Structure 1
Amino acid sequence: MLGKLDRRSLIGKAAGLALAVGPGAAIPGTAFAAVRREPLARVIVDNDFAGDPDGLIALAHQVASRSSRCVLITSSTLDRRFAAMGGLDPDTTAAQGAKAARDLLARMGRSDLCPVLAGSESPGPESGPESGPKGGTQAAQAIVAEAMRDDPLPLFFACGGPLTNLAQALRIEPRIAARMTLVWLGGDGYPGGGDEYNLSADLAAARYVIERSGIALWQIPMPTYAQCQISIADFEVNVRDISATTQWLYERYAALPPFVKLGGAIGCGDSALVLLTAISAATSRSRTQTARRILDDARYGDEIPGRTIRVIEELDVRLLLSDFVAAMRAPA
């Protein structure tokens, strides 16, 4: 039988537990059945991984996603001027980008996830000097192989850089245009357009893909992807020390060349690709419009009769960033 002091102690401890847990809160140690999540799409991730580190942030997020299956990673080349300014060998930036992607996968314990291939070191839809005997680089050939493979899951080509690798793949096998959806971060805003890096770095490839292929296109122009930012303070306090992976991602920004001037925030526009292909496109605003030709100065020209595209105008950045942080915290 409990004495008075024992009963008071027991009641006090029970009350303390109730206050600590709170109404509706989970009791520590409670086991929950996991919400079932299955991949709803295959994704080919294509980016200039030797450039801005936000491509690697997006790749880490895409790899960590449980609702899409990353089936191929391809690296595109950098504009030679920017490569030289950053102290990189301008002849090997696609290869350097592929290495960075492999390094990231290794840190995430996912080295065996999928092939990681360097694309063309030369811009343009034509095959460069590194092409194989079948025409096109290994990356372009792998894009074709994945697109032509029978699989019940739809295929997205998520591109956060110039469209070089996709254009070369389309030249090898035009039929892949009907077997995938391109989600591309590129081009300036409508109606005028103008200079934007991912477009201007390979105008010829963009023209080939948009004007000649007929591939289904979701375009995320610069005013839209610029909405995706995370403050440096937020990254340092809430993201950097989550894991060795997030620390490595932070170090990519600490190692940026001197000509890159950061203010109070880091642009993470490439992560818009993850939002639309692996989380949800339902809460982002878009419109369907007639595609436009691309002029020599990167402005938009005449409409292309019969060619429609989806233009993303507003992104659900809260959903994107909260999912990124949670994905980085979740066990592999």
Structure 2
Amino acid sequence: MTNFLPYEVPESKKIRVIINTDAKNEADDQFAIVHACLTPRFLIKGIIAAHFGTERTQASMEESYEECEKILSLLNMSEDIPLYRGAQQAMPDEGTPILSKGAEFIIQEAMKEEQSPLYVIFLGAITDLASAYLIEPRIADRMTALWIGGGQWPEGEREFNLSNDIDAANVVMASLIPLWVVPRNVYSTIRVGLAELALKVRPYGDIGNYLFQQMVDFNHSAAGNPRFPKGEMWSLGDSPAVSLLLDHHEYAYEMKPAPRITRDMHYIHHQKERWVRWYNEVDARFTLEDMFAKIALFAANRK
């Protein structure tokens, strides 16, 4: 990709990134994917399409795969960023991984001898990470995982990404993988209005128009739900996965003992050996404005 930004990122500051996304689930993954792909600090090694359960479709991973294809095509990056299929469904239990090209790719990239650190961001169910770890536990100290998922500390609560594979979440919580968690009460604070998106995203090229329109379309498709969405706003809940890799927000998290998660998605606290990074807040202004700026500058460069 030709650099469309008026600055360069030193090679020593760059990091390897894999994006794992249930892109066709709602309408916010798309914004995080585009933001990541337009961020020069990131060496995007690949995108993995993730499932989002079977409540609405029996082919959720394939729908996510097709959505990722569309986004990469609109960015003209189809030849630059590999795309992989992840698990088609949740793990049957905590001891049985789901084999997929996505899990294989995580292992392959983690086991490479590279100077730049590897981060894998999970914007949906965490099936592919748990599966990769069960297949090859040595990846644990060769990568860092960032998960948009789980409920508020300390009780826990129902949360969509977690609900789609509780067994996988328990595998990762009990693993040795460095894990950053952005729970529901935090990721939901990245609020944006449709009017703001119409002004700051829609005018900027085919990708800007698509990002706006697919959100409007999803908003109407769920019009029968009286609680969600709310009609004129959205939470770009997956976008912290990008901004936290741009800046770790050193004062916005605490190290907490990883919980065990029940079937009703509450937390059980019984161990003190395994600790994870638990975020309490994310800078919404920084997250959104960096994305808006990159989309606008990208579009200007393509004229």
TM-based fold match above 0.5: yes
Pairwise CA RMSD = 1.6
SS at match of 2:280: strand
CA distance 1:150–1:181, change in 2 (3 Å): same
Q: What does residue 80 of structure 1 align with?
A: 54
Alignment partners' CA distance in 1, 2:201 and 2:63: 26
Instruction: Tell me by how many angstroms 1:80 deviates.
Output: 1.2
| 2:235 is the counterpart of 1:267 | yes
Q: What does residue 234 of structure 1 align with?
A: 196
Alignment partners' CA distance in 1, 2:271 and 2:64: 34
Amino acid at match of 2:9: R
Instruction: Tell me by how many angstroms 1:261 deviates.
Output: 3.1
SS at match of 1:71: strand
Q: What does residue 163 of structure 1 align with?
A: 126
Aligned residues: 284
Q: Quick check: 2:90–2:127 contact (8 Å CA) kept in 1?
A: yes
Amino acid at match of 1:48: D
Q: Which moved more, 1:214-223 or 1:279-288?
A: 279-288
Alignment partners' CA distance in 1, 2:199 and 2:284: 19
Instruction: Tell me by how many angstroms 1:238 deviates.
Output: 2.1
Alignment partners' CA distance in 1, 2:260 and 2:233: 34
Runs of 4+ in 1 over 6 A off after TM superposition: none
| 2:216 is the counterpart of 1:254 | yes
Amino acid at match of 1:273: A
Q: What does residue 88 of structure 2 align with?
A: 121
Alignment partners' CA distance in 1, 2:65 and 2:294: 23
Q: What does residue 22 of structure 2 align with?
A: 48
SS at match of 2:277: strand
Structure 1: gaps (5+ residues): 1-32, 84-89, 129-135
Amino acid at match of 2:171: Y
Amino acid at match of 2:204: I
SS at match of 1:303: coil
Q: What does residue 248 of structure 2 align with?
A: 281
Alignment of 1:52-67 (within 5 A): 52-67=26-41
| 2:181 is the counterpart of 1:219 | yes
Q: Quick check: 2:9–2:40 contact (8 Å CA) kept in 1?
A: yes
Structure 2: gaps (5+ residues): none
Alignment partners' CA distance in 1, 2:208 and 2:215: 11
Alignment partners' CA distance in 2, 1:157 and 1:53: 21
Identity across matched positions, percent: 26
SS at match of 1:157: strand
Partner residue of 1:183 out of 124, 137, 146: 146
Greater Rg over alpha carbons, structure: 1
Q: Deviations over 1:134-170 (max 9, x none)?
A: xx11111111101111111111110010101111111
Q: Deviations over 1:257-314 (max 9, x none)?
A: 234533331110100000011x212366111111111122111102323111111111
Q: What does residue 8 of structure 2 align with?
A: 36
Amino acid at match of 1:183: L
Q: What does residue 293 of structure 1 align with?
A: 260
CA distance 1:37–1:222, change in 2 (3 Å): same
Alignment partners' CA distance in 1, 2:247 and 2:271: 29
Alignment partners' CA distance in 1, 2:250 and 2:143: 22
Partner residue of 2:111 out of 148, 151, 154: 148
Partner residue of 2:156 out of 169, 183, 193: 193
Alignment partners' CA distance in 1, 2:164 and 2:261: 13
Q: Quick check: 2:201–2:208 contact (8 Å CA) kept in 1?
A: yes
Q: Quick check: 2:97–2:135 contact (8 Å CA) kept in 1?
A: no
SS at match of 2:77: coil
TM-score, normalised by the number of residues in structure 2: 0.89
Amino acid at match of 2:284: V
Instruction: Tell me by how many angstroms 1:202 deviates.
Output: 0.5
Amino acid at match of 1:170: Y
Q: Quick check: 1:224–1:312 contact (8 Å CA) kept in 2?
A: yes
TM-score, normalised by the number of residues in structure 1: 0.82
Alignment partners' CA distance in 2, 1:304 and 1:76: 30
Q: Quick check: 2:97–2:130 contact (8 Å CA) kept in 1?
A: no
| 2:172 is the counterpart of 1:209 | yes
Instruction: Tell me by how many angstroms 1:34 deviates.
Output: 4.2
Q: What does residue 290 of structure 2 align with?
A: 323
